[in-house]
């Protein structure tokens, strides 16, 4: 049975981060939105929190509890991470992504790395490089190559739209060991900054999350130790790609929580602004007796709660050793789409206030769009959900 009661630890973390984001992030959000690519030094205080993963890392060992195989050290860590992500995104999505210490690559390391690799790379600020100029939503189509040469892999290829690609300490790069063997040959590799043959080619100028750097990375005969390949180096026809894709089961609920946090920020601002004008939601009245604005606010409030419940379900399954591939995609699909719809509705209800740069609502609308794009677009989530529910293979859906 899923327990939706918030633990005291999660409450304390949310309260602490809420205060920090309100006092530190909100006041500087506009400045770094207008000064793209400037590193927000004010966030250095968050470094230790991000490096701790808001969950204390992982240890060896598994145990059985009430018939469920659980990883001993991960019970509660996914829930803690998404709770922290929600509050940080409530402060500012762009600044959250600019936090020093923990990037999306760290989720890949946590999901796939051996214990020895986790000891080496788990605390490095790591970006994740998947997308290429000719490879976007279909992560299995990567063309970056990794060729074993003695005790080293030689990487060649280009990655684009890499979040934290410039400021990170290391990058988790998806590459193929053999293009003729398809998905099974795709593995993830840790490439540390400063490695010869690895360079940051350029930084993107973006519509939103402008405080975060988004980079193009190039690998030209970039040599890394062979034990920098995360997990199993063998090419297995069945299931080889699943280890790499497990990364998304970790990151999609996190992105969903970011969408929830940003949408919640817009909703709360809108609700409070309308209350100052004498417009309050009367929950005790039937729909026929409520105003159009009240119905809009109730619709937003209800969808925020649905988003939260789907996220909590996905992370509860992760914390209790259950496969959450379907649930992770469901949480990402719902939060990605409705997070955007909620913020857009807030801008609409607020009129000139919502569109003015005097306030952050228009910024939240620009920022939240990315949460429906990266870590798998809305369309990709629908395909994953359909495959899982209907039992279809990738060739049966288009």
Buried b (16+ CB within 10 A) or exposed e, 70-103: bbeebbbbbbbbbbbbbbbbbbbbbbbbbbbbbb
Taking residues 338-359, what's their average pLDDT?
97
Q: Are residues 346 and 379 in the same domain?
A: yes
- Which of 252, 265, 256 lies closest to 335, judged by CA? 256
Q: Are residues 116 and 48 in the same domain?
A: yes
| pLDDT tens, residue by residue, 104-163 | 898 889 888 999 999 999 989 999 999 999 887 777 789 999 999 999 999 999 999 999
Q: Which residue among 294, 312, 327, 375 is the active-site one?
A: 375
| pLDDT tens, residue by residue, 278-304 | 998 888 888 888 899 999 999 999 999
Taking residues 79-87, what's their average pLDDT?
92
Write out the residue range of the structural domain in which residue 43 sits: 8-121
C-beta neighbour count of 127 within 10 angstroms:
28
For residue 50, pLDDT beyond 80: no
- Which of 166, 175, 263, 274 lies closest to 222, judged by CA? 175
From CA 54, how far away is CA 131, in angstroms rounded?
Answer: 27
- For helices 240-276 and 361-368, give the axis angle rounded to 10 degrees: 160
Asked if residue 236 belongs to a domain, the reply is no
Asked if residue 178 belongs to a domain, the reply is yes
Check which CATH number belongs to the domain holding 62 and give it. 1.10.540.10
Taking residues 269-273, what's their average pLDDT?
97
* Domain's final residue, options 228, 251, 279: 228
Residue 66 has a pLDDT of 42
Percentage of the residues of the chain whose pLDDT score is greater than 70: 89
Q: Are residues 40 and 64 in the same domain?
A: yes
Taking residues 315-340, what's their average pLDDT?
94
Q: Are residues 282 and 192 in the same domain?
A: no
C-beta neighbour count of 134 within 10 angstroms:
10
**CA dist 135 to 153, 200, 234, 382, Å?**
22, 19, 23, 19
Asked if residue 134 belongs to a domain, the reply is yes
- Which residues is 217 bridged to in the sheet? 159, 200
Residue 319 near residue 76, CB atoms below 8 Å: yes
Asked if residue 1 belongs to a domain, the reply is no
Check which CATH number belongs to the domain holding 182 and give it. 2.40.110.10
Q: Are residues 272 and 386 in the same domain?
A: yes
Residue 375 designated active-site? yes
Range with lowest mean pLDDT among 121-135, 233-247, 250-264, 299-313: 233-247
* Domain's final residue, options 121, 141, 171: 121
Q: Are residues 151 and 117 in the same domain?
A: no
Strand-strand pairing, 62-65 and 186-192: unpaired
Q: Are residues 277 and 334 in the same domain?
A: yes
Asked if residue 328 belongs to a domain, the reply is yes
Q: Are residues 337 and 256 in the same domain?
A: yes
Q: Are residues 250 and 377 in the same domain?
A: yes
Number of domains composing the chain = 3
Residue 68 near residue 322, CB atoms below 8 Å: yes
- DSSP 3-state of 69: strand
């Amino acid at each position: 049975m899923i327990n939706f009661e918030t633990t005291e630890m999660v409450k304390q973390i949310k309260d602490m981060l809420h205060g920090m984001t309100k006092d530190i992030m909100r006041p500087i959000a506009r400045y770094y939105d207008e000064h793209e690519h400037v590193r927000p030094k004010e966030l250095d205080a968050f470094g230790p929190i991000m490096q701790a993963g808001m969950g204390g890392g992982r240890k060896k060992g598994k145990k059985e509890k009430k018939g469920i195989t659980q990883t001993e050290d991960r019970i509660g860590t996914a829930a803690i991470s998404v709770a922290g992500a929600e509050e940080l995104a409530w402060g500012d999505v762009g600044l959250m992504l600019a936090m020093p210490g923990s990037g999306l690559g760290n989720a890949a390391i946590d999901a796939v790395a051996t214990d020895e690799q986790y000891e080496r790379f788990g605390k490095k600020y790591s970006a994740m490089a998947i997308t290429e100029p000719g490879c976007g939503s279909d992560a299995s189509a990567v063309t970056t190559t990794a060729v074993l040469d003695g005790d080293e892999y030689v990487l060649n290829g280009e990655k684009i739209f890499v979040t934290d690609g410039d400021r990170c300490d290391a990058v988790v790069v998806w590459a193929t060991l053999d293009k003729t063997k398809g998905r099974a040959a795709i593995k993830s590799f840790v490439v540390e900054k400063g490695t010869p043959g690895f360079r940051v080619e350029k930084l993107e100028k973006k519509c939103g999350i402008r405080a975060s750097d988004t980079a193009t990375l190039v690998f030209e005969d970039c040599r890394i130790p062979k034990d920098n390949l995360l997990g199993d180096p063998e090419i297995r026809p069945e299931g080889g790609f699943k280890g790499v894709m497990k990364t998304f089961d970790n990151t999609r609920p996190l992105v969903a929580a970011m969408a929830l946090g940003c949408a919640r920020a817009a909703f709360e601002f809108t609700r409070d602004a309308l209350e100052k004008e004498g417009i309050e939601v009367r929950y005790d009245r039937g729909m026929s007796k409520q105003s159009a604005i009240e119905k809009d606010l109730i619709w937003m409030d209800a969808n925020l709660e649905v988003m939260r419940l789907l996220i909590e379900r996905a992370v509860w399954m992760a914390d209790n050793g259950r496969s959450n591939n379907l649930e992770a995609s469901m949480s990402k699909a719902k939060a990605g789409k409705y997070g955007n719809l909620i913020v857009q509705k807030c801008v609409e209800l607020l009129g000139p206030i919502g569109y003015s740069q005097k306030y952050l609502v228009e910024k939240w609308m620009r920022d939240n769009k990315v949460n429906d794009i990266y870590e798998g677009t809305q369309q990709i989530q629908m395909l994953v959900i359909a495959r899982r529910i209907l039992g279809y293979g990738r060739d049966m859906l288009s």
